[in-house]
Amino acid sequence: MEYLWKPDLEDGTFQNPIIFADYSDPDVIRVGDTYYMTASSFNYVPGLPILTSKDLVNWKLVNYAIDKIDYEKYDMPQHSKGVWAPAIRYHNERFYIYYGMPDEGIFMVSAEDPLGKWEKPVLVLEGKGLIDSCPFWDDDGKAYVIHGYAKSRIGFKSYLGIFPMSEDGTKAIGEDHILYNGVETQPTIEGPKVYKRNDYYYILAPAGGVKPGWQTALRSKNIYGPYEEKIVLKQGNTIVNGPHQGGLVDTVNGDEWFLHFQDRGLYGRIVHMQPVVWENDWPVMGQNAKDGCGEPCLVCKKPNTGISEAPSSLEASDDFEEPGLNLMWQWLGNPKDNFCSLTANPGFLRLYALNPSGEKEPVLWNCSNVLTQKLVCPYFKASVCLRIDGLQENEQAGMVMMGGHYAYLAVRMINGEKTLVQAEAYDAEDGSVKEKTNVLKLAGNAEKIIFSFAMEEGKDGPIFKMFFTLGEEEVAVQTDFMPSDHTWVGAKIGLFATALKENAGNGGYADFEYIHVTSLAEGN
């Protein structure tokens, strides 16, 4: 079996990252012998991914907690907004996920079966700038939410807040107020996760910023504080920057592990795991600890969970043989029923050429009908085969590498002719997108074409390459484009069919036969 990324070294050890994919702000719990992880999804839907594992090393994407974001504005892509930094918990035989939406407030979604349908999200506390929410049910039956603040919405940061909530977790029952001030010693503290151990309340939270920061532990014997503080994990002499936000979890034998993310730029925020021991009622994470503060490990002995799983790899290839979309796919905004079909032409993904943005000159950055998937390994080649004979005038279909700036290859129907174009767009994060296009070649009467993107290893880092195939010959497309992250999200591979004008489209479509992703790295 070819693995796109293989954390399990099959010799009793694992390598970090355990997930080479953009699962930002991960949180994890154990229920019985199964571990459950969720992560931020921002404006991408479905949202709040659910991943499971039996050994904490080999993870599978199994579900999402929300199908869409229940605000009309999210029918258009709302980059940098949406679902931020969730916390997953299990209480009274029910799964809960709490998450902040920085422009709307703190929400909760719950389910008895995390692999089934989750209930409709509940707004627990309305308000701008309330993010990174974590629930806590105390032994006395009282319940709380501890959270962070987004300076971009509320005007300040480096504080943690707390408010009491109803025991059923559905609503705030008291005022929100400042719990902890980290301005002087723990600047930009955020992403709190709350635990109780040996009569101490612990808050584990990153501080110092995403790339240059560290992990802080706060402790108190009163949930309202005051809190002692200690830095328990930092980059040290390693290549693992951050190390940023995550969650603590135990195994059936009592060992504990900390899962967190590392910012890898264009690849997004990938997931690492560190062993945890306790000294003097403080957690010590990672390896080579000095004064109770460790640094991230790259290779470590696997957790003893009592279950040994076969090595696994996140999926990226798809032959579109199922009647519904594979879980790897997320739309750029809330989807509509007319975006796609997997039954109109069985064995193909049919994307309808639409302009959901309504713009006179639409760009992909603002089109919710772009279907995306995460990059799941550092070096790869992704090839997409699509049939283009269903396109109508002023419509296009193709493959995009989406990010803060993006590039795509597409076939456009212009003046009755199929035209092969290369397009690049910059400054997408500033909202001033202008796509620059280059006509490469007339596609003539071709019925299908293959587009390929490759991320190859170069002397000074990854190199991005683009290709197209008409017939048997693969042709390289000259480009100096390099993918980038954007608004806290890594670059993504996308498929699309869009109308180029203000109207919604002329009824055309493209049928995608497959996407095949192969690793270009040795040993995976």
**Is residue 439 predicted with pLDDT exceeding 80?**
no
- Write the pLDDT tens digit of every residue in 27-45: 999 999 999 999 999 999 9
- Let me know the angle formed at the C-alpha of 44 by 241 and 480, rounded to the nearest 5 degrees: 60
- Write the pLDDT tens digit of every residue in 297-313: 999 999 999 988 899 98
Mean per-residue pLDDT, 413-431? 81
Minimum mean pLDDT range among 44-58, 132-146, 472-486, 501-515:
501-515
Mean per-residue pLDDT, 439-448? 72
Containing H/E element for 278? strand 269-279
* Per-residue confidence band for 431, with pLDDT thresholds at 50, 70 and 90: low
Report the pLDDT value the prediction gives residue 444, as an integer from 0 to 100: 64
Report the pLDDT value the prediction gives residue 432, as an integer from 0 to 100: 57
- Write the pLDDT tens digit of every residue in 311-349: 998 999 999 999 999 999 999 999 999 999 999 999 999
Mean pLDDT of the chain: 94
- Write the pLDDT tens digit of every residue in 98-119: 999 999 999 999 999 999 999 9
Report the pLDDT value the prediction gives residue 416, as an integer from 0 to 100: 86
* Per-residue confidence band for 445, with pLDDT thresholds at 50, 70 and 90: confident
- Cβ 302 vs Cβ 36: under 8 Å: no
- Distance, in Å, from the CA atom of 454 to the CA atom of 464, rounded to the nearest integer, reads 6
Secondary structure class of 73 (helix, strand, coil):
helix
- Distance, in Å, from the CA atom of 279 to the CA atom of 496, rounded to the nearest integer, reads 53
Look up residue 195 and give its two tokens: 């635990």
Look up residue 474 and give its two tokens: 């693969």
* Per-residue confidence band for 440, with pLDDT thresholds at 50, 70 and 90: low
Report the pLDDT value the prediction gives residue 226, as an integer from 0 to 100: 98
Between 183 and 404, name the one with better pLDDT.
Answer: 183
How far from each other are the two terminal CA atoms of the chain, in whole angstroms?
10
Mean per-residue pLDDT, 180-209? 97
**Is residue 150 predicted with pLDDT exceeding 60?**
yes
* Per-residue confidence band for 482, with pLDDT thresholds at 50, 70 and 90: very high
- Cβ 99 vs Cβ 84: under 8 Å: yes
Mean per-residue pLDDT, 392-410? 94
Q: Using alpha carbons, select from 511, 236, 489 the residue that is nearest to residue 389.
A: 511
Q: DSSP assignment, residue 430?
A: G
Report the pLDDT value the prediction gives residue 353, as an integer from 0 to 100: 97
Look up residue 45 and give its two tokens: 């839907």
Report the pLDDT value the prediction gives residue 103, as an integer from 0 to 100: 97
Residues recognised as catalytic: 25, 190
Report the pLDDT value the prediction gives residue 442, as an integer from 0 to 100: 63
**Is residue 518 predicted with pLDDT exceeding 60?**
yes
**Is residue 486 predicted with pLDDT exceeding 90?**
no
Cα dihedral sign, 16-19-22-28 = negative
DSSP notation for 356-425: TT--SS--GGG-TT-EEEE--SSSEEEEEEEE-TT--TTEEEEEEEESSSEEEEEEEEETTEEEEEEEEE
**Is residue 430 predicted with pLDDT exceeding 90?**
no
Mean per-residue pLDDT, 156-170? 97
Report the pLDDT value the prediction gives residue 189, as an integer from 0 to 100: 98
% pLDDT > 70, the chain: 96
% pLDDT > 90, the chain: 87
